[in-house]
Amino acid sequence: MNTLTYTDIANMALDWVGAAISIQSIDDTNNPDAVLCKRNIMIAVRSELDKYEWAFARKRLVVSESEDEDKVIPGYHCYVLPNDFSRLSMYTFFDEIPKCTLEYAPGHFYFIQDGCLYCKAPIEVLKYNSNNVNISKWHSLFCDVVALNLAQRIAPKIKGMDADINVYEALYRQKLKDARRLELIGTEAEHGGMSVLQYQRIVA
């Protein structure tokens, strides 16, 4: 279990950009660096959760079809997505993977529209990734990724508009690569290699 706090993540970002001192709390409204980090950290977190499939962010939800007539589309089963929905898990249609085609392609199996999932076959459990995950569930490499995302956002304010963002971008790409490799190690493989849907969800 991760024991870092949002203040720790903020201080990691401040260390990366070379801030003079650490902050005692990200909620300290009297510290300009704390205010800056607080303003940007949740955007950094959400953007990283939305980019890829993260195992620690995966959830399962028992669902039933929507009875809202305004949402009905002939030929599809409609399911209202939860408020913390980020993206479908690569395991959502695990049994139907051979039949799946890309969203909006001819003969597509499913699509997402106006906060609802539409698919041609009924489902009982929605497997999805959440964009609201307790920090205790993050792994250490994801903490690095978020800290470096935050560092890129705050660097111009800390170092000035001439701050070399390329340095933080390069560090970010390396940490992201390490974090994604960790995820791939734990990915359930299919016989003969990764499925189309797994590839779509991981690299999209």
**Same domain assignment for residues 187 and 154:** yes
pLDDT given for residue 95 in this prediction? 52
Average pLDDT over residues 145-165: 88
The domain total for the chain is 2
* Domain-embedded: residue 138: yes
pLDDT given for residue 187 in this prediction? 60
* Domain-embedded: residue 1: no
pLDDT at 172 over 70: yes
One-character DSSP codes across 111-165:
EEETTEEEESS--SEEEEEES---GGG--HHHHHHHHHHHHHHHHHHHH-TT--H
Average pLDDT over residues 60-65: 93
pLDDT given for residue 120 in this prediction? 85
d(CA 56, CA 140): 12
CB 117 within 8 A of CB 81: yes
User: Pick from 114, 130, 146: which residue ends a domain?
Assistant: 130
* Domain-embedded: residue 123: yes
pLDDT given for residue 167 in this prediction? 85
pLDDT given for residue 98 in this prediction? 44
pLDDT at 168 over 90: no
Confidence of residue 186 (pLDDT cuts 50, 70, 90): low
What single DSSP character describes residue 107? T
* Domain-embedded: residue 156: yes
pLDDT at 7 over 50: yes
Average pLDDT over residues 83-98: 74
CA distances for 45 relative to 109, 153, 184, angstroms:
31, 12, 20
pLDDT given for residue 28 in this prediction? 97
pLDDT given for residue 190 in this prediction? 46
**Same domain assignment for residues 69 and 43:** no
